[in-house]
Structure 1
Amino acid sequence: MALDQTRHAIYLSLMMVIIASTAAVATKFASARVSIEAIVTVQYMVCLLLCLPLTLRGGLAHIKSSRIGLHFFRGAVGVLGFYLFYSALEHIPMVDAMLLRQSAPLTVPLVIWAWNRERIAGIDWLPLAIGFAGVLVILRPSPDGLSWWHAGGFLSALCLSVSMVATHKLATTEPSSRILLYYFVLSLACVGPFSLNDFTGLRWQEWAAMVYVGIAIYFTLLLYTRAYAMAPAHAIAPVNYFAVVMAAFWGWLIWGQVPDGWSLVGSALVILGGLITIYLAKSAFSRSAASI
């Protein structure tokens, strides 16, 4: 039964990655004529409309929360992460932007250390060092300066890791439907006012792309929640790196982008660091279970 659940969770994660990659394609298409603020605003508006019926099914009492501050912080960090990711998508190859975004798990231990002052075990520094070496290769610092759009992509991953830790803290007292509702409402409040004048003169193609992004992100979050509820993270997390393959495929098919040697080496190092992190987490989980 557990094996069947894990297999099902892997399938859901694979669907999540494919849908998320198509959302990135639609974002890159729309960003040629639409501001990032407008794309993010429509994304969260669509997500909110899809989320409301499910959340309000339990009545207004279901949305009351005593942790508004943490909800607001999580929403602000989340919207900043999407803004940086979409800005990077507009200016750098899809595979680089997606790879940098997928480096988020590497920074989670650092976020936990900064937040809770939890010590990072000596062995955990190995995947961090390997992964960050890969990020540096992709960023390609040179005497002429840093690739700032690549740096923005990495900062989006850091925002994502902060959001992950905040979500984990919220989940101790809040149901997932309430977390998503506050996330969409507060994120929309953060970015909406900055996009009020950005919707004039848009073609139906841009509107369709933005609405699709919102729908895709909503179902990505649903699949993510369901998959990680069915199986341990270490069993299905490696599937997330398939997003890099999908990004390379779409970038080549639509925009003729072919990853260069630096991107391939950096990608390999980041993925290796991520897989080692997952392996160490699996080993720690096994030891903990054996001691019970």
Structure 2
Amino acid sequence: MTIAYAFVMSLTALAAKQAQTMIAVSTLVFWQSLFCALILLPQMRGRWQKRPLSVWKIHFLRSFGGFIGFLFYYWSLNHIPLVEASLLRTCAPLCVPFVVLVLHRIRIPKARWLPLIIGFVGVAFIIQPMPSHLNPWHLVGLVSAVGLALSMVTTRMLSQQVSGEETLFVYFLVSTLLSLPLVFVQGESFTLPLGVWPFVAAVTITLYVGMTLYNLAYTYAPASIVSPVSYVGVVFSGFWGWVIWGHVPGIYAILGMLFIFLSILMSTRMARNRG
């Protein structure tokens, strides 16, 4: 499920990058969220249950994290190569311990700092935080990882209390509502040109399938197990970027990829040994 999720989401990014040549990011997020919510609406018939306020808070955090994750990921796609944007988004597991620290006040164990430092060294290789090389859009891509990390943690929290369909429906509904004012504030149009419909349809279908697989993966296994496998999505993104745009990762991007993957593998081994 995780490998399928990684492949399908690489197709989502591919279609989204093409769609953004014709419409604004906020408009794309609005329509993809609305269409996915409409797909899920019939599945929710007869399944609504009264939820305590604590569950709704987690729902909102999960939805907000997912919204930020996609919004900033799409923005970064416009300005940096697909493989680099995907690499930065894949740093989400590095951000998970900090999200857990904020949400649950659980301190990061000393043993976890080594893989975290190695991972962020990899991030530094990609971003190259020097005045002559720093591209602010790399930082935008890194923010998408923080949003994804928040959705990872809260999806796991919700999996014990609500169905996957409910989690996804609430997420897409909240994402629709959050993107609505953003379109107005940016002065963009809601209209979809005829030529962009195939790409929006591709984004919607692949996003729905991918998020379903994502929910299933994080329901049946912890993030520490799923994350290393989902890293294969970087390979898929690198392939599309090379075939379509001729983007070949530089030496720093490759080093960053290796450091981040090593970090995730080390974190996974620690989690398994602790289990």
- TM-score in terms of structure 1 length: 0.86
- 2:75 matched to which residue of 1? 87
Q: Identify if the C-alpha distance between structure 1 residues 179 and 57 changes in structure 2 by more than 3 Å, giving closer, same or farther.
A: same
Q: Indicate whether 1:129 and 2:117 are aligned.
A: yes
5+ residue gaps, structure 2, are: none
SS in 2 for 1:32: coil
Q: Which residue identity lines up with residue 246 of structure 1 in the other structure?
A: F
- 2:33 matched to which residue of 1? 44
Matches of 1:64 and 1:53, distance apart in 2: 20
SS in 1 for 2:78: helix
- 1:27 matched to which residue of 2? 16
Equivalent residue runs for 1:272-283 within 5 Å:
272-283=262-273
Of 50, 54, 59, the match for 2:43:
54
Matches of 1:178 and 1:103, distance apart in 2: 27
Conserved? CA contact 1:13–1:236, under 8 Å: yes
Matches of 2:248 and 2:133, distance apart in 1: 23
- 1:7 matched to which residue of 2? none
SS in 2 for 1:198: coil
Q: Which residue identity lines up with residue 189 of structure 2 in the other structure?
A: D
Of 198, 205, 216, the match for 2:189:
198
5+ residue gaps, structure 1, are: 1-11, 286-292
Equivalent residue runs for 1:55-204 within 5 Å:
55-58=44-47, 61-62=48-49, 64=51, 66=53, 67-144=55-132, 146-195=134-183, 197-200=188-191, 202-204=192-194
Conserved? CA contact 1:252–1:258, under 8 Å: yes
- TM-score in terms of structure 2 length: 0.91
Conserved? CA contact 2:164–2:212, under 8 Å: no
Q: Identify if the C-alpha distance between structure 1 residues 83 and 53 changes in structure 2 by more than 3 Å, giving closer, same or farther.
A: same
Q: Which residue identity lines up with residue 101 of structure 1 in the other structure?
A: R
Conserved? CA contact 1:55–1:63, under 8 Å: no
Identity within the alignment, %: 36
Conserved? CA contact 1:131–1:274, under 8 Å: yes
Q: Indicate whether 1:255 and 2:253 are aligned.
A: no
1:232 CA displacement: 5.5
Matches of 1:254 and 1:57, distance apart in 2: 45
Equivalent residue runs for 1:237-256 within 5 Å:
237-256=227-246
Equivalent residue runs for 1:279-290 within 5 Å:
279-285=269-275
Q: Indicate whether 1:16 and 2:2 are aligned.
A: no
1:69 CA displacement: 3.2
Matches of 1:15 and 1:165, distance apart in 2: 21
1:219 CA displacement: 0.7
